[in-house]
């Protein structure tokens, strides 16, 4: 059972390995949503995510015999680092099975804490099945990343900290993968104040909890498809499902495109790097049917590799019309490129890429294609640039940027 006594115990235990993550007030998102928005920045933990809480507390409850066998778990990345870090603190061997699609930064950091990493399967569920096989074969002690009440208790310490710092909180938004974090946070929040509404947030492409709640039983999705790799889970936890049904007030889903925009917003307005799974609660803010409420979004982690970060930034700029590409047809004669550049310069557009194609027509005097990729201030500025090109007779066509 998840009890207040155990949550209080866990809150003291996890202080040994966690950073203090004070709430961060967001003026930007407060103005955007009409609520008072705060962030719980678990992306600032030493391991880059909240998962160290559940891992460390769970290991603290194990017998010496269980520790001596060595530990094994499966994870898309953050639980892996949590277990590896906690195991190192206890001087215990740890084997981590991770999907082959796990970002390199998460794999390398897990190894850096001294854990043995095994890459297996395309998604978490396949990695987990393999971890169980290894546990049976080698006799390791298995620590489940979410379907374990001890793990959920450790994760729930986040709610204790939120309520202590913001006693009159109205809403807590929490990311959902398998449901361990949501179980701990929602259960403890309701114990401390039944009026607090706790909302789970899932990626639309991996909404296993939403489907399971609708069906009234744990349901496995046929597949998952989302950039939020930390929450790409096909089946919510069996043991924790009753707590999720009882204590979560609702489950919201968000699209991957919304996560891309949320990443850009967090970098520009808060100078924070938050991974896609952690951004679920940020993207969900605009879906929340509330006004004038105190809302806390849990930022579950910040372990994003630089290549992914670069791609997300570029996509975000494109979605915000900060980068766009137009195609114009020009006569193939000297001076035409200067004329187009002058129109763009007069509207304060910034050219970042040019592609000149002389082979779109056999009559080069009639049509040479010029593709121009530009930076703009946003949708209105983009529209002004396109209209200026229209007025000069260039008949620009908008095409998807290729950066």
**Which structural domain, as residue segments, surrounds residue 11?**
4-49+149-316
- Label each residue of 241-278 as H, E or C: HHHHHHHCCEEEEECHHHHHHHHHHHHHHHCCCCCCCC
Confidence category of residue 362, pLDDT binned at 50, 70, 90:
low
Q: What are phi and psi of 270, to 5 degrees?
A: -130, 0
Summarize pLDDT for 168-207 with one digit per residue, the tens: 999 999 999 999 999 999 999 999 999 999 999 999 999 9
For 302, phi then psi, to 5°, come to -135, 25
Q: Are residues 180 and 231 in the same domain?
A: yes
Residues 254 and 105 grouped into a single domain: no
Q: Domain check: are 161 and 16 in the same one? A: yes
Q: What CATH number has the domain bearing residue 248? A: 3.40.50.1100
Instruction: Give pLDDT tens digits for 240-270.
Output: 999 999 999 999 999 999 999 999 999 999 9
Looking at every residue in the chain, the average pLDDT score rounds to: 93
Q: Give the per-residue pLDDT at 103.
A: 76
Question: Once rounded to an integer, what is the mean pLDDT over residues 315-328?
Answer: 91
- Do 222 and 277 belong to one domain? yes
**Per-residue pLDDT tens digits for 153-178:** 999 999 999 999 999 999 999 999 99
106 and 169 housed in the same domain: no
Domain endpoint, select from 142, 171, 203: 142
One domain for residues 172 and 302: yes
> Does residue 152 register a pLDDT over 90?
yes
The CATH number for 354's domain is 3.30.70.260
Give residue for tokens 């009890």.
3
Long-range contacts of range 164-168, CB-CB < 8 Å, 24 or more positions apart?
Answer: 165/22, 165/23, 166/23, 166/38, 166/294, 166/296, 167/193, 168/294
Q: Judge if 27 and 168 occupy the same domain.
A: yes
Q: Does residue 311 register a pLDDT over 90?
A: no
Residues 31 and 175 in one domain: yes
Distance CA(221)–CA(232), nearest Å, equals: 11
- The order of strands in the sheet holding 323-330 is 350-357, 368-375, 323-330, 397-399
Among 271, 300, 316, which residue terminates a domain? 316
The reported pLDDT for the residue numbered 403 is 60
Residue 317, both tokens: 């700029």
- Do 202 and 296 belong to one domain? yes
| DSSP strand pairing (397-399 vs 323-330) | antiparallel
CA–CA gap between residue 101 and residue 215 (Å, rounded): 30
Give the count of domains, the chain. 3
- 197 with 217, same domain? yes
Helix (H, G, I), strand (E, B) or coil at 177: coil
Q: Which of 31-35, 94-98, 293-297, 392-396 has the lowest mean pLDDT?
A: 392-396
Per DSSP, the chain holds a count of helices (H) and strands (E) of 17, 14
Sign, Cα dihedral of 282, 7, 207, 80: positive
Whether 136 and 202 map to the same domain: the answer is: no
CA dist 87 and 265 (Å) reads 35
Global confidence as pTM: 0.87
Q: Which residue, 273, 297, 316, sits at the end of a domain?
A: 316
Residues assigned a catalytic role: 51, 300
Which position has the higher pLDDT, 99 or 209? Answer: 209
Terminal alpha carbon distance of the chain: 53
């Amino acid at each position: 059972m998840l009890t207040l006594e155990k949550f209080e115990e866990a809150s003291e235990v996890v202080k040994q390995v966690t950073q203090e993550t004070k709430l961060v007030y967001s003026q930007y998102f407060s103005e955007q949503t009409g609520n008072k928005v705060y962030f719980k920045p678990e992306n600032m933990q030493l391991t880059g995510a909240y998962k160290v809480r559940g891992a460390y507390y769970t290991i603290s409850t194990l017998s010496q015999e269980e520790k001596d066998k060595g530990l094994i778990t499966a994870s898309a990345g953050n639980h892996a680092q949590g277990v590896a870090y906690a195991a190192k603190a206890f001087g215990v061997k740890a084997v981590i099975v991770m999907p082959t699609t796990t970002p390199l930064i998460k794999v390398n950091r897990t190894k850096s804490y001294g854990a043995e990493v095994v890459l297996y399967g395309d998604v978490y569920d396949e990695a987990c099945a393999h971890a169980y096989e290894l546990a049976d074969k080698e006799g390791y002690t298995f620590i489940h990343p979410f379907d374990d009440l001890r793990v959920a208790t450790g994760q729930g310490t986040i709610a204790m900290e939120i309520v202590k710092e913001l006693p009159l909180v109205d809403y807590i938004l929490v990311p959902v993968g398998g449901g361990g974090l949501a179980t701990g946070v929602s259960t403890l929040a309701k114990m401390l104040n039944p009026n607090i509404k706790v909302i789970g947030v899932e990626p639309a492409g991996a909404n296993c909890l939403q489907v399971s709640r609708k069906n009234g039983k744990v349901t496995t999705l046929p597949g998952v498809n989302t950039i939020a790799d930390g929450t790409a889970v096909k089946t919510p936890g069996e043991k924790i499902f009753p707590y999720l049904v009882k204590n979560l007030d609702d489950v919201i889903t968000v699209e991957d495109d919304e996560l891309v925009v949320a990443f850009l917003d967090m970098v520009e307005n808060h100078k924070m790097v938050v991974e896609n799974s952690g951004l679920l609660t940020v993207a969900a803010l605009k879906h929340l049917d509330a006004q004038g409420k105190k809302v806390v979004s849990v930022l579950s982690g910040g372990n994003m590799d630089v290549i992914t970060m670069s791609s997300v930034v570029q996509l975000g700029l494109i979605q915000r019309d900060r980068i766009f590409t137009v195609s114009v047809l020009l006569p193939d004669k000297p001076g035409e490129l200067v004329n187009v550049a002058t129109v763009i310069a007069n509207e304060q557009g910034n050219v970042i890429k040019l592609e000149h194609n002389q082979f779109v027509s056999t009559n080069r005097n009639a049509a040479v294609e010029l593709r121009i990729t530009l930076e703009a201030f946003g949708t209105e500025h983009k529209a002004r640039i396109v209209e200026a090109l229209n007025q000069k007779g260039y008949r620009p066509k908008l095409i998807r940027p290729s950066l």
